């Protein structure tokens, strides 16, 4: 009877460890995705700093 309880407790501990690892991997994946998105979406508040003055401002396409 005690062997069954010990095996059940060990199984629960293993499942808990697996859940913790899975949560950690998921968080790392979400953090990595957020970092990639920050790189891909430039700041929309100002023109690119590498451009000359006047480049990347307003464009008149009403011709």
The rounded average pLDDT for each run of 10 residues, N- to C-terminus, in the chain (63 residues) is: 89 95 95 86 62 69 72
Neighbours of 62 (CB within 10 A): 4
Is there a contact between 47 and 59 (Cβ–Cβ < 8 Å)?
no
Task: Count other C-beta atoms under 10 Å from residue 27's C-beta.
Answer: 10
Residue 11: the pLDDT is 94
Q: pLDDT at position 48, please?
A: 60
Query: Would you say how long the chain is, in residues?
Result: 63
Residue 35, both tokens: 């970092």
pTM of this structure: 0.53
pLDDT of residue 1: 66
């Amino acid at each position: 009877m005690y062997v069954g309880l010990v095996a059940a407790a060990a199984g629960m501990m293993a499942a808990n460890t697996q859940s913790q690892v899975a949560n950690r991997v998921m968080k790392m994946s979400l953090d990595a995705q957020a970092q990639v998105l920050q790189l891909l979406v430039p700041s929309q508040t100002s023109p690119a700093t590498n451009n000359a003055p006047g480049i990347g401002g307003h464009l008149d396409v009403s011709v």
